[in-house]
Structure 1
Amino acid sequence: MARYGSAYRASAEKETGMEIMDVRAIPLRRELRARFANAQKWIGSREYCLVRAETRKGVVGWGECWGPIAGNREIVERTVAPRLAGERVDEVEALHDELVFELRSSYHSFVPASVVSGVDVALWDAYGKSVDRSVSRLLGGRRRESVPAYATGHFFRDVDSIEELETIVAEEARSHVDRGFTALKQKIGLGRHFPWGTEEDLRLVAAVREEVGDGVDLMVDANHSYDVADATRVARGLADYDVRFFEEPVPPEVGYYADLADRTVTPLAGGECWAFREEFDRALAEGGLAYVQPDVTSAGGITSTARVASMAEARNIQTYPHVFGSAVALAASLQVLATIPGDPMLEFDRTENPIREGLAVEPITNDGDRVPIRDAPGIGIEVDEDVLAEYEVEL
């Protein structure tokens, strides 16, 4: 991957010390007290593959890969780390593009986007810390010092009746509003796990709307559980509840969104399952999206997420990054959110997650319905090494 002559590189590295000396994967896992579910799966633990990148001067940057530890860990340590040795963290965008090219060449039918994402975030963090600047400033400037947040939660629980689940999600919604949130996102798609269907999905939405009233923004996420016919039925029903957007109603094939958008007035959102600018370009060009949702841990890192936001702005579409990770993903997402044009919102996961709450020395918290965006070096957090050791596992 080296691009420069040895004389230039030796001079630059002597001056800055930004040479990458070590890249490692660090697996974390914590079992939860009680499992919960979305339409995709039951979740009984929180599991992350972090990426640690260290420069010759000892500056450490942190990133996070989407998905399970297995696979991410092996590609980071056996394939990516040797390629990055000797490269410079202030060349992060060029390194991102070269990794995509080389990994596509290695795997042919796909690029391990979660690996590229975790490495990219770690390099941006190390770069910012190396020059004592926040990533948001390195990306071109901060448009805001805080961002409005919506509380994500309201997942499915182990219940025997829809009435019991209605009560649980309504009470949870009330608790978020009582803590200052003025926007919420809930889950539907019950038919994947329960003997219920779209009628019961709409009952859950009705229960939350009735509980919080009309003054609270409500988003709904089906985690791509419907075919176009059922998605159409649900989207039309959601119009009765003044839903801001209907997220991932259908599988993440770009054409499905345009088809569904022609059938309903409910705004559609999607993007957490897409990666890199080419795929997002197809989705934006095809139409159907009112909001686009790249995730820094799976879309290709900070580099790709910032690029997608610019592409979306050119089509007058708002970017709402998807966020459902540890403190590293949350901090990195906030740095991008500081730079996104328009009126973005932060997805603020409120489900049980000890790793998210404890991993940062200074945890990221909401102030009412907003979350401050730190202007500290890198992504704005320091990892608590004691908490890291507590949750690190060998799988």
Structure 2
Amino acid sequence: MKIERIRTYRLSCPLPEILGYAQGRFGSRQALLVQIVTTDGLSGWGEASGPAAMAQCAVNTFYAPKLIGKNPLQTELLWNSMWRASREWARRGPMLAAMSAIDIALWDLKGKAMGLPLCELLGGKTRDRIPCYATGCYFRDLPEADLIPTLIDEARGYVDAGFRAVKVQIGRNLPFDRALAHGLRAALPDTYLLANAHQAYDLPEAMLVGMALQENRFAMFEDPLSLDVPEAYRKLGGKLHIPIAAGRREQTRWGFQGLLDTGGVQMLMPDFAYCGGISEFMKIRAAVSTFGANLVPHVSGTMFSLASALHFLASDFRQPGRAEASVGLLEYEAPDANPLRDAMYKPTIPIEGGSALVPTTAGLGVELDFELLRIFTMEKQEVDAPG
């Protein structure tokens, strides 16, 4: 079995309304899907996070020609071949996102070839369902006095739908963030609350917001500071007792090693579609475990990202561990904020009572509806053997 062709699909889908977060606003969602097809007729799917057009160019012009004719089951060999080919000038950014998409597709294909779901390839399934946290509460074009109750109502809707944990967006300004934290806790006294600041603060601001989150019993403070100032994370972590999370925009084991060495971050959040793919994610997991820390996947893409994270959590062991083991939460973004996740698949991953059911079919356990895929595809490209 050899790789015969590699296809890329650049997708776009408008949102029902303009949404915002600490670093900007968006009215549509984009994604890049990668399909690897073998001479035996099998295919595997992956996706890249970040600028889709740049990642598509990287796959088609740089990586795909190097992979045609190779054995797709040799995931480690192929990952290192791509890494060696690009590390002189492309050790970070969209090139690594392109590698991530290819690697996810190779693992999906490997599972299908072996007749095993991905979680079995990652070490063995330990649970059949994973509790989710709902990610949403994006900013809207409303006066702040109206926006806060709107976001609280949205969060309450997730709880009513069965989610016991909710992640909200902060980083707008200090008075707003404090008021939102207080309002959410008053409205949802028993809900597991998390907050994502999207690297919005400097250190003094992060201290003040972190204290407000602590006072309101938030369970996680994500990306309070820029990843370019890791020393500030150490200082922040020394002052706050709320767990600090970071890493959704970090890549490779070496990038995460820097966060671990500096200290201050208790929860690492690599994204399968950006950090280097499944192969690299597992190496990041090993590095994190040597520090007695834990990681939970960041998920903001399509069903392929969600499935990758779900299979990992179904086979993961928390550190340091105990008989009644805890389990990491699966990030599940609000459907209105991410229609590309649910619109093109048959079937989608079931969510029941706020938990995701782990697929039992081979590979990622996700299949596309090609008629719907065509609707969302802005550009499709294909690379195959020359001649």
TM-score, normalised relative to structure 1: 0.90
Residues 259 and 216 of structure 1: CA distance in aligned 2, closer, same or farther (over 3 Å): same
What's the counterpart of residue 39 of structure 1?
22
**Structure 2, unpaired ranges of 5+:** 319-326, 381-387
Match of 2:164 among 150, 173, 182: 182
Any conservation in 2 of the 1:309–1:340 contact (CA below 8 Å)?
Answer: no
Any conservation in 2 of the 1:359–1:384 contact (CA below 8 Å)?
Answer: yes
Shift of 1:370: 1.4
| Aligned mates of 2:194, 2:263 — CA distance in 1 | 20
| Aligned mates of 2:304, 2:92 — CA distance in 1 | 29
Match of 1:372 among 357, 378, 382: 357
Shift of 1:365: 3.1
Any conservation in 1 of the 2:35–2:44 contact (CA below 8 Å)?
Answer: yes
Shift of 1:394: 3.2
Any conservation in 2 of the 1:319–1:340 contact (CA below 8 Å)?
Answer: no
| Aligned mates of 2:372, 2:282 — CA distance in 1 | 30
What's the counterpart of residue 22 of structure 1?
5
* CA-to-aligned-CA distance 1:256-307 (integer Å, 9 cap, x gap): 2112111222210011011111111121122111111000010111112222
Which secondary structure does the structure 2 equivalent of 1:338 belong to?
helix
What's the counterpart of residue 83 of structure 2?
100
- Quick one: higher RCO (CA 8 Å, sep 6+), 1 or 2? 2
What's the counterpart of residue 334 of structure 1?
310
Which has the larger displacement, 168-177 or 369-378? Answer: 369-378
| Aligned mates of 1:106, 1:266 — CA distance in 2 | 38
Match of 1:359 among 341, 344, 355: 344
What's the counterpart of residue 220 of structure 1?
195
2:73 maps to a residue whose letter is D
Match of 1:349 among 327, 330, 333: 333
Matches within 5 A, 1:43-82: 43-82=26-65
Matches within 5 A, 1:132-147: 132-147=115-130
State how many pairs are aligned. 370
What's the counterpart of residue 12 of structure 1?
none
Shift of 1:156: 0.3
**Structure 1, unpaired ranges of 5+:** 1-16, 191-196
Which has the larger displacement, 59-68 or 356-365? Answer: 356-365
| Aligned mates of 1:320, 1:268 — CA distance in 2 | 12
Residues 110 and 325 of structure 1: CA distance in aligned 2, closer, same or farther (over 3 Å): closer
Match of 1:152 among 118, 125, 135: 135
| Aligned mates of 1:309, 1:106 — CA distance in 2 | 25
1:104 maps to a residue whose letter is R
| Aligned mates of 1:350, 1:63 — CA distance in 2 | 21
| Aligned mates of 2:261, 2:90 — CA distance in 1 | 27
* CA-to-aligned-CA distance 1:111-150 (integer Å, 9 cap, x gap): 7211111111011111111111111111221222211110
| Aligned mates of 2:6, 2:37 — CA distance in 1 | 6
Any conservation in 1 of the 2:92–2:251 contact (CA below 8 Å)?
Answer: no
Which secondary structure does the structure 2 equivalent of 1:73 belong to?
helix
| Aligned mates of 1:207, 1:357 — CA distance in 2 | 31
Shift of 1:313: 2.2
What's the counterpart of residue 148 of structure 2?
166
After TM superposition, the runs of 4+ consecutive aligned structure 1 residues lying more than 4 A away are 108-111
Residues 328 and 206 of structure 1: CA distance in aligned 2, closer, same or farther (over 3 Å): same
What's the counterpart of residue 231 of structure 1?
206
Shift of 1:355: 1.6
Any conservation in 2 of the 1:295–1:321 contact (CA below 8 Å)?
Answer: yes
| Aligned mates of 1:31, 1:111 — CA distance in 2 | 22
Shift of 1:84: 0.3
Any conservation in 1 of the 2:50–2:94 contact (CA below 8 Å)?
Answer: no
1:48 maps to a residue whose letter is A
Which secondary structure does the structure 1 equivalent of 2:220 belong to?
strand
Which secondary structure does the structure 2 equivalent of 1:386 belong to?
helix
Matched, 1:385 2:370: yes
What's the counterpart of residue 312 of structure 1?
288
Structural RMSD (CA): 1.5
Any conservation in 1 of the 2:233–2:265 contact (CA below 8 Å)?
Answer: yes
2:304 maps to a residue whose letter is V
Which secondary structure does the structure 1 equivalent of 2:342 belong to?
helix
Residues 45 and 327 of structure 1: CA distance in aligned 2, closer, same or farther (over 3 Å): same
Task: Give percent identity, aligned residues only.
Answer: 30
| Aligned mates of 1:355, 1:111 — CA distance in 2 | 20
Which secondary structure does the structure 2 equivalent of 1:149 belong to?
strand
1:377 maps to a residue whose letter is A
Which secondary structure does the structure 2 equivalent of 1:239 belong to?
helix
What's the counterpart of residue 384 of structure 2?
none
Matched, 1:325 2:325: no
| Aligned mates of 1:188, 1:108 — CA distance in 2 | 30
Shift of 1:376: 1.4
Residues 321 and 109 of structure 1: CA distance in aligned 2, closer, same or farther (over 3 Å): closer
Shift of 1:106: 4.8
Any conservation in 1 of the 2:181–2:212 contact (CA below 8 Å)?
Answer: no
Shift of 1:198: 0.6
2:257 maps to a residue whose letter is D
Match of 2:108 among 125, 138, 155: 125
Which has the larger displacement, 351-360 or 383-392? Answer: 351-360
Any conservation in 1 of the 2:335–2:342 contact (CA below 8 Å)?
Answer: no
